[in-house]
Amino acid sequence: MRIYFDTEFEGLYQDAKLISIGLISEDNRELYIEFNDINVDKQDDWIKQNVLANTVLYGGKNIEDITDKSNYYVGDKDGVKEVLIEWFKQFIEVQLVSDVCHYDFVKFIDIFGTAFDLPSHINASCHDINQDIANHFFITEQKAFDMSREEILKTYNIDVWGDKHNSLYDARVIKEIYKITR
């Protein structure tokens, strides 16, 4: 089962904490998690205005504007790990898919400790749609990186529900891009 996922985090630096993680399976099972252990005052204006504003915990969004409340969890890293382990048990074999996943996958693995600590049915490599976009449009990976994912979807008349820079919305976008590039 492919699981499309995205993370939002404090910034592009080594010790940045996760703010949220959104996951959606091929058959549309969703999980949306927000981490309750970040320091909001430490965040720069861009993170506050574009990421935190699109969360329930820090931005005051209604969970129903993001997903069904039964798909929502708030907690610290240890609690999130347990929720993820339980959620992934419903799948026999998991291939994670993300966008420019060298950021997201490292943060995802860190929840579990190391890649060797992932549940055994989760592939310890991540499929990256940025490469799919480059191949699909016959462009370099750098040009693919610079392409608006929303503009790609618009070209194919695909609407995705949610707000940009919310990790579950971004996971939904990743899923649709993956389907386009197949």
CATH of the domain at 20: 3.30.420.10
- Span 36-89, pLDDT tens digits: 999 999 999 999 999 999 999 999 999 999 999 999 999 999 999 999 999 999
* CA atoms of 99 and 130, how far apart (whole Å): 6
Domain count, the chain: 1
Q: Model confidence at 14, in pLDDT bands (50, 70, 90)?
A: confident
| pLDDT(12) > 90 | no
**Whole-number Cα distances in Å, 81 to 75, 135, 155:** 9, 34, 37
The Cα 64–Cα 45 span in angstroms is 26
Would the pTM of this model clear 0.75, i.e. be above it?
yes
Say yes or no to pLDDT of 13 above 80: no
- Mean of the per-residue pLDDT values of the chain: 96
What is the band of 112 on the pLDDT scale with cuts at 50, 70, 90? Answer: very high
> What is the per-residue burial (b if ≥16 Cβ within 10 Å, else e) of 118-146?
beeebeeebbbbbebbbeeeeeeeeebee
Chain segment 158-182, per-residue pLDDT in tens: 999 999 999 999 999 999 999 999 9
Range of the domain at 68: 2-180
